[in-house]
Amino acid sequence: MTSEMVAAVPTPPGAGIFSTSGTSAGVATAPGELGIPRQDGPPPVSHAADPRHFLGLEGLTRPTLLTLLADAAREREWLKHGEPNRRDLAGVTVVLAFIEDSTRTRTSFEIAAQRLGANTVVFASGASSLNKGETLLDTVRLFEAMGAALVVVRHPSSGAPAWLARQLESIGVLNAGDGMHEHPTQGLLDLLTLQDAWQGRFEGRRLAIVGDISHSRVARSAIAGLTTLGCRVTVCGPGTLVPADVEELGCEVSDSLEDALAGADGVMALRLQRERMETGLLPAISEYARLWGLTPERVDLLAPEGVVLHPGPVNRGVEMAHEVADGPRSRILTQVANGVAVRCAVLRRCADAIRRPHGFTAALAAAAASTSTSASTSGAAGGREGSR
């Protein structure tokens, strides 16, 4: 085996290289005393609290959510009257980076931005031609260099918008749906729809969410927003489509659709992707429809004023029957209408934070600068150890 070895560090002859500071070999340390990252500086920057970005409903406080809903309700009133475009976002360039197809969400954001007077640039690309994060980053940096203030991102990778927000200096990032993580503007429009249906009161209400919870960013945003506002959430669906430990998100889990619906103040049916059959998570669409589809009889289990939501587009006869989708409990079209209002409110919030880099944002930037110098690796802002 090896024989010739080279000394990597020459030592001066006769030099005593070891300190005499140590004591003995016995180590007695109280558990937890060591190993935790040094916390000399401010706590890690929470992107949830940075108003320049809109990355998810998780982490947003109740007052923030209620303010956004109030803003959205005002925008809705204004939009109703068909007045000319405003100038709130005049001079602001909004890039719509859709690395995954979504005509509805993109159009909704585009209308919202234009109604507020922003310039919009659409950058749409299929996942096949642009699926590597760094390419997206390079592209968004170009837009940043050209003076774009906001970028709306739809991306197939969970966490991609948060990652982008960490990499960019001056541009605000809005999440328009990331993988299976969050779709926070959808979540907010669901909240607005329910707030109207429930006479403004979330406490004491309960919403059932039915279907493919595992793959649903809509469900995650709804759970985060509703539980923060004091509403109970029951999720239910086939065992293959309910993710592990989902109850730790603060919701209840039911194996029975009937139990979940009984007395609930609303139900949100999630869209079922055909792909779930192909990957062996479900045996057949017909079986799903039979077990989990919303029929008129089933929705009658809801409380008398209970409403029906769906993020669209509806697979009629699968997630719900015709009569339910078009029935008196359905708020599906209201949801779509609320989408533009919600996106107006969110775009304004982020644009205001970008244009007024004082107060909170400036403090945050200073905190980010000091943490990035004390923590030695890039991207340290997320909080390194277990605590989140």
Partner 1 sequence: MSFEKTALMLFRDVTHWRTGERFTLAVQDGVVVPAPARPGPGARVFEARGAVVAPGLVDVHVHLREPGQSAKETIDSGTRAAAAGGFTSIACMPNTDPVVDTPAWVEWVQRHGEAAGHCHVLPIAAVTVGQRGEQLAPLEALARAGAVAFSDDGRPVTSAAMMRRALEYARPTGRPIICHEEDPTLKGDGVMNEGFTATRLGLRGIPAAAESVMCRRDSDLAELTGGRVHFAHLSASASFDALRDAKRRGLRVTGETCPHYWVLTDEAVGDYDTHAKMNPPLRSDHDREACIAAIADGTIDCFATDHAPHTADEKAKPFTDAPFGIVGLETALGLTLTHLVGAGHVTLARAIELWTDAPRRVFGLPPVSVEAGSRADLVLFDPQAEWTVDPERFQSKGRNTPFAGWRLRGRVLATLLGGRFTHVADAARFERPAVPAGAAR
Q: Torsion-angle region of residue 263: left (phi > 0), alpha (psi -120 to 50) or beta?
A: left
Q: Which two tokens stand for residue 244?
A: 């592990």
Decide: is 178 part of the binding site for partner 1 (CB under 8 A): yes
331 phi/psi in degrees, rounded to 5: -120, 25
Decide: is 239 part of the binding site for partner 1 (CB under 8 A): no
Q: Which amino acid is at 48?
A: A
From candidates 169, 203, 278, 385, binder to partner 1 by CB under 8 A? 385
Round to whole Å and give the CA distance between 220 and 212: 11
Contact 140, 94 (CB under 8 A): no
Closer to partner 1 by Cβ: residue 247 or 326: 247
Closest separation in Å from C-beta 210 to partner 1:
17
From candidates 230, 263, 317, 379, binder to partner 1 by CB under 8 A? 379
133-145 vs 160-167: helix axis angle to the nearest 10?
Answer: 50
Closer to partner 1 by Cβ: residue 5 or 284: 5
From candidates 159, 316, 355, 370, binder to partner 1 by CB under 8 A? 159
Stretch that binds partner 1, among 60-68, 71-79, 128-136, 143-151 (CB under 8 A): 128-136
Strands (E) across 170-320 are located at 172-178, 206-210, 232-236, 252-254, 266-269, 307-309
Name the residue among 84, 92, 226 with its Cα closest to residue 152. Answer: 92
Residues 48-77 that bind partner 1 (CB under 8 A): 58
Decide: is 84 part of the binding site for partner 1 (CB under 8 A): no
Decide: is 128 part of the binding site for partner 1 (CB under 8 A): no
Name the residue among 226, 86, 100, 233 with its Cα closest to residue 154. Answer: 100
- How many C-beta atoms lie closer than 10 Å to residue 296's C-beta? 13
Closest separation in Å from C-beta 160 to partner 1:
4
Question: Residue 308: helix, strand or coil by DSSP?
Answer: strand
Residues that contact partner 1, how many (by CB under 8 A): 77
Closest separation in Å from C-beta 153 to partner 1:
11
Round to whole Å and give the CA distance between 222 and 155: 19
Decide: is 387 part of the binding site for partner 1 (CB under 8 A): yes
Residues 269-308 that bind partner 1 (CB under 8 A): none
CA dihedral 59, 343, 273, 194 (to 10 degrees): 70
Stretch that binds partner 1, among 11-19, 110-118, 263-271, 362-370 (CB under 8 A): 11-19
Closest separation in Å from C-beta 24 to partner 1:
7
Decide: is 179 part of the binding site for partner 1 (CB under 8 A): yes
From candidates 109, 163, 198, 288, binder to partner 1 by CB under 8 A? 163
Closest separation in Å from C-beta 107 to partner 1:
24
Question: Residue 316: helix, strand or coil by DSSP?
Answer: strand
Cis peptide before 238 (omega within 30 of 0): no
From candidates 107, 125, 158, 295, binder to partner 1 by CB under 8 A? 158
Burial class (CB in 10 A: 0-12, 13-18, 19+), 279: exposed
From candidates 150, 160, 267, 321, binder to partner 1 by CB under 8 A? 160
Closer to partner 1 by Cβ: residue 225 or 293: 225
Beta bridge partners of 308: 267, 330
From candidates 42, 117, 133, 312, binder to partner 1 by CB under 8 A? 133
Round to whole Å and give the CA distance between 183 and 370: 31
Stretch that binds partner 1, among 18-26, 108-116, 141-149, 168-176 (CB under 8 A): 18-26
Closer to partner 1 by Cβ: residue 34 or 284: 34
From candidates 7, 63, 278, 358, binder to partner 1 by CB under 8 A? 7
From candidates 249, 285, 301, 336, binder to partner 1 by CB under 8 A? 249
Question: Residue 124: helix, strand or coil by DSSP?
Answer: strand
Stretch that binds partner 1, among 29-37, 168-176, 190-198, 331-339 (CB under 8 A): 29-37
Give kind and range of the element (H or E) at residue 119.
strand 119-124
Closest separation in Å from C-beta 61 to partner 1:
17
From candidates 74, 201, 322, 384, binder to partner 1 by CB under 8 A? 384
